[in-house]
Structure 1
Amino acid sequence: MKTIFKTFIVLLSFTTTIACNANSKKKEQNLVLTETKIETKSKSKKPEIKVALLLDTSNSMDGLIDQAKAQLWEIVNELSYAKCKAQNPNLKIALYEYGNDNLNAEEGYLRQVLAFSDDLDEISKSLFSLTTNGGNEYCGKVIQTALNQLNWDDKKDDLKFIFIAGNEPYTQGKVNYKDASKLAHQKDVTVNTIYCGDYDQGISSYWKDGADLTHGNYMAINHNKATVHVASPYDDKILELNEKLNNTYVAYGKKGKAKMELQSEQDSNAMGYNKANAVSRTVSKSTRLYKNSSWDLVDAEQEEDFSYDNLKESQLPEELKGKSKTEIRSYVEKKRKERETLQKSISYLNEKRKGYIAKQSKDSDNALENAMLKAIKSQANKKNYKWE
């Protein structure tokens, strides 16, 4: 995309800047090297929905990035209802950005922002960290890179998707998109293409062909369309419960304090769009997909390999230091019960909220959200996934 871009889900991690070559015409710029994040392999035997979002971050894509930020939580909420053989699948999202002049030319103007992660706060942080700048968009290269870098596994019940969004010809770059499609097919990954612009123009620039080669969906959206948010009479109460929900987290270990601050920061980012978006995030926080066992004792206690015997005094929050194991267990159990009660209340209010919105909004076509969910559900049906 020469001048425009807004897209969905490229996960941002820590960026590494390098000075440009002295002979380069862009030696004043900082080029960001691709940084591959090492993924933590899932301990769960549950099936997984894996979604890699490849977003063009060239100049004209600001609208799409806004859609991604505004619609992330509704997408997560809908995926929380998925069922596979009576099991609730886990969700992992990876993010890449491509087509940005600030990215390293030798790497193909692309960067892994975040490897597959089930940390929804980190995913949100990554999206809100994205910026746009003009550049070269190499679709085949970024698809090939995501396929090679990410851990896709080979579990037969997993759903594995790439969503790539952009508005320049799909054929740009040295890596032929057909070769990238063959690699996707070998890994049982479905590539869904989202053209930001006219439907027929996307076809003529080979975005549809790119999807067809892996039996994916081709979609064209208006990436500059504002997200439709409908206020409901239940919003204030849900947000009030969110404040109480945050108080049930028991931060521990090296990550605890920073992660709790990140949680609050992403609450603020969601509210920065509007109240309805903050409500959607609160609903996500009440679902099974919002997991924080790496820093929250309430979630950590549910992990098979967790033991209070392995907890060190230095890892505990101030309110638990000097307490016996029995007292710590009792405190955590109290917080768990509080959380479960709050989550049930949020879920109940959200059902009423959804019913209200359905009556009020005849046209709730939020382009990116609807395009992604339509593709995921239609393709999930082939593996006997159902929605509750």
Structure 2
Amino acid sequence: MKNVHRILGICLLTATINTAYGCELTLKRTNKAPIIAEAIVNEPIEKPKSNTVKIALLLDTSNSMDGLINQAKSQLWDIVNKFTHAKCGNGSRPNLEIALYQYGNDNLSSREGYIQQVLDFSTDLDEISEKLFSLTTNGGEEYCGQVIHTSLKQLDWGKNPDHLKMIFIAGNEPFTQGKLNYKDAITNAIEKDVVINTIFCGNYDQGVQTDWKKGATLTGGEYMAIDHNRRVVHIETPYDDIIIKLNGKLNKTYISYGSRGAMKREQQMVQDENAMELEEAVAVKRAVSKSSRMYKNSSWDLVDAMDDKDFDISAIEKEQLPTELQDKSTSEIARYIETKKRERSDIQKEIQELNTKRDAFIAKNQKENATGELENAMLEAIKKQAEKKNYKWE
């Protein structure tokens, strides 16, 4: 009889797990299953906290890859803006974390296989932009299998089955190079529920012949070939200059605090300048990202910090505040922050409304296949794989 109860308990637990996970479902409660689970399960199961998209970019930074790096700098904001509109079937919005690796560069350690983790998984969009702009190219050996293996080993991918976990690896040398067989890395990826997407910078058939396609399809990922040196022709719209001016006003709503406040505010300004130097359209896309829910800076900005339920403005020491707030009372500071919050909300709303008109203008005037090669490749793969996890797009 005990065995019967045990079997029934396992069946109930399995049913509970199957209904608890999945982007479109919510966790169901039962009276009996949790008690049985405590008795028969040794390993705790990671329960979903919030849906998260984890993307690791593995970029070849050898001599011929300047075009790829420039496209990545530009298209970062397209990826961010894409997920601004992503939604699960249960109405929740996913978080976005991006990690960055470079490989195939002679400046990197030969002991590490000419591989470097440039950035761990991060939600800090300014930091991600800064790291992309820090990349430089130099000749080297490109070991695709090893950089995939390294990213799987070093990064915290988690065990939550709801999370969308993707690697995008881009390069132009055979996928088979290096001592570590890429198929072993792929086995590891499958175990971690990570989908590998490969982007060959060159002729499609050449990429197939050098195993770039196999490297993707073995995990259910997408294989793409792009012209990484193709210059993206952005369409100017009547809304670009207005959005850029609004971005300047948006920056004035940030109230830096703490030991990192001044540095992070400077970083924000520098990344605005980097985007503008690359191209005005990139600066516009960045401004749109900054007006979205994806751009949060509670670690150094008082307006975002006040949205955190555990944040206590009275606990901040006076010297950690900007000069203009150091002689004010807690209630005066709170009112000042609330004023800036309303200003920011109004500006963000205006940018989003203008961007809707901008998108419509571009759709009407854009020639077929006029968008960036890397942008097309990544967004197509992201949307397809996100839909398998029950993400929807507004």
- Classify the TM-score, shorter chain: 0.7 to 0.9
Structure 2 gap ranges (5+): 1-47
Q: 1:70 corresponds to which residue?
A: 74
| Cα deviation code 1:191-230 (max 9, x no counterpart) | 0000000001000000000101111000000001111211
Distance, in Å, in 1 between the alignment partners of 2:351 and 2:91 is 24
**How high is the TM-score relative to the length of structure 2?**
0.86
**Of 129, 138, 158, which aligns to 2:134?**
129
Q: Deviations over 1:135-169 (max 9, x none)?
A: 00000100000001001111121100000000101
Q: Does 1:91 align with 2:96?
A: yes
User: What is the deviation of 1:365?
Assistant: 3.1
Letter in structure 2 aligned against 1:166: G
Corresponding residue for residue 389 of structure 2: 383
* Contact 1:63–1:224 (8 Å) recurs in 2: yes
Following the alignment from structure 1 to structure 2, what is the Cα–Cα distance between the partners of residues 305 and 175? 46
Partner of 1:50: 54
Taking only the aligned residue pairs, the percentage that are identical comes to 61
- Name whichever of 74-83 and 109-118 sits farther off: 74-83
Question: How does 1:179-258 map onto structure 2 within 5 Å?
Answer: 179-258=184-263
Q: 1:308 is matched with which residue: 313, 321, 335?
A: 313
Question: What TM-score do you get using the length of structure 1 for normalisation?
Answer: 0.88
Structure 1 CA distance for aligned equivalents of residues 182 and 247 of structure 2: 44
CA distance in 1, matches of 2:310, 2:207: 49
Q: Give the secondary structure class of the aligned counterpart of 2:166.
A: strand
Which residue identity does 2:351 align to in structure 1? Answer: I
What is the rounded CA distance, in whole Å, between the counterparts of 1:350 and 1:61 in structure 2?
A: 31
CA distance in 1, matches of 2:50, 2:233: 34
1:95-134 deviations in whole A, cap 9, x for unaligned? 0000000000001100000000000000100011100000
Counterpart residue number, 1:16: none
SS of the residue 1:106 aligns to:
coil
Letter matched to residue 84 of structure 2 = S
Q: Is the 8 A contact 1:284 1:290 kept in 2?
A: yes
Q: Which residue of 1 aligns with 2:41?
A: none
Counterpart of 1:276, as a letter, is A
1:305 Cα deviation from its structure 2 partner: 2.1
- Tell me if the contact between 1:137 and 1:173 (Cα under 8 Å) persists in the aligned partners: yes
1:92 and 1:117 in contact (8 A); partners too: yes
Moved more, 339-348 or 300-309: 300-309
- In the TM superposition, residue 304 of structure 1 has moved relative to its aligned partner by 2.7
Aligned partner (choices 297, 318, 325) of residue 320 of structure 1: 325
Q: What secondary structure does 1:60 align onto?
A: helix
Give the Cα separation in 2 of the matches to 1:274 and 1:378.
29
SS in structure 1 of the partner of residue 196 of structure 2: strand
CA–CA distance in structure 1, aligned partners of residues 74 and 98 of structure 2:
16
Matches within 5 A, 1:296-375: 296-363=301-368, 364-375=370-381
Which secondary structure does the structure 2 equivalent of 1:114 belong to? strand
Please state how far the C-alpha of 1:309 moved relative to its aligned partner.
3.0
Q: Map of 1:85-124 to 2, 5 A cutoff?
A: 85-124=90-129
* Bigger share in helix: 2
CA contact (8 A) 1:70 1:227 kept: no
- Please give the alpha-carbon distance, in whole angstroms, between the structure 1 residues aligned to 2:77 and 2:234: 12
Aligned residues: 345
SS state at 1:160 partner: strand
CA RMSD of aligned residues (A): 1.0
2:100 corresponds to which letter in structure 1? Answer: L
Q: Deviations over 1:286-319 (max 9, x none)?
A: 0000111110000011113211232111211111
* Alpha-carbon contact 2:234-2:371 (below 8 Å) kept: no
**Aligned partners of 2:100, 2:75: CA distance in 1, in Å?**
15
Is the contact made by 1:139 and 1:177 (CA closer than 8 Å) also made in structure 2? yes
Q: Deviation digits for residues 317-367 of structure 1, max 9, x if unmatched?
A: 111102111011101000000000000000000000000011110222311
Aligned match of 1:159: 164
- SS in structure 1 of the partner of residue 319 of structure 2: helix
Residue 143 of structure 1: aligned partner? 148
Q: Determine whether 1:269 maps to 2:274.
A: yes
Give the drift of 1:274: 1.9
2:383 aligned partner, one-letter code: K
Contiguous gaps of at least 5 residues in structure 1: 1-43
Describe the SS at the equivalent of 1:105.
coil
Alpha-carbon distance between aligned partners in 2 of 1:358 and 1:158, rounded to the nearest angstrom: 31
Q: Deviations over 1:228-274 (max 9, x none)?
A: 21110011111111111000000000110010000000000010022
- SS of the residue corresponding to residue 67 of structure 2 reads helix
Measured in 2, the distance between the counterparts of 1:120 and 1:45 equals 22
Give the Å deviation of 1:46. Answer: 1.9
